[in-house]
Structure 1
């Protein structure tokens, strides 16, 4: 889809801090993370929302979600993750994406209020992407 930001990231036309790039999907850091290391995972083809994802793509996509959700806490010394997706409402980019957010008890996240932060630099963002990518590679 020509005007879709996430399609442009998948195609490599827009830079992103990638953590995984497979036939099943592409994962990259959210540029406005809830917590540092917050990954967005998208299917390669343009799919607007979960109900539009072809059944044939479900197993591979959700297996990748599962792998990334396991890698994020291992890579970042977090206790767990918050995994979520919006469909239409609160979906800032109309391309299906799954949020995988590192969590630690007492981190201050309550309910669906998602305070946002920023990376101090591209180098800091790249270090988070590298840590998750390296952990994913070790888990293959």
Structure 2
């Protein structure tokens, strides 16, 4: 189950989040705006936030099991079918696992792209992206 996360939310000040906070400090800014998609699990082990049109950020506590991670990602994708992600930023393994699930659900592909030493960027493109690019349009979907 997910709920809205906002400025000053306890999850952003929890020991689990603070241990990983430096690469995720943009989450604080995203959570300040009520116009952005801002979600967290009720147990404060996952935060997902996105400013429309920009890459989403995904934080998952290291203590979350693989089975729980898959359940959370599936629920996020299934409950938010309107998600249109140009990209996702997060810990490399977490971001790639989410990208695999998201790209399968959306029938698109993703490409890993490292932008920081500890953050993986994954680029997602629709199967028609190469045709669109040939027409001079930029339909690339970045997950960074």
TM-score (norm 1): 0.38
TM-score (norm 2): 0.37
Task: Looking at secondary structure, tell me which structure has more strand per residue.
Answer: 2
Q: Which of these two proteins has the greater Rg computed from alpha carbons?
A: 2
Greater relative CO, 1 or 2 (CA 8 Å, sep 6+): 1
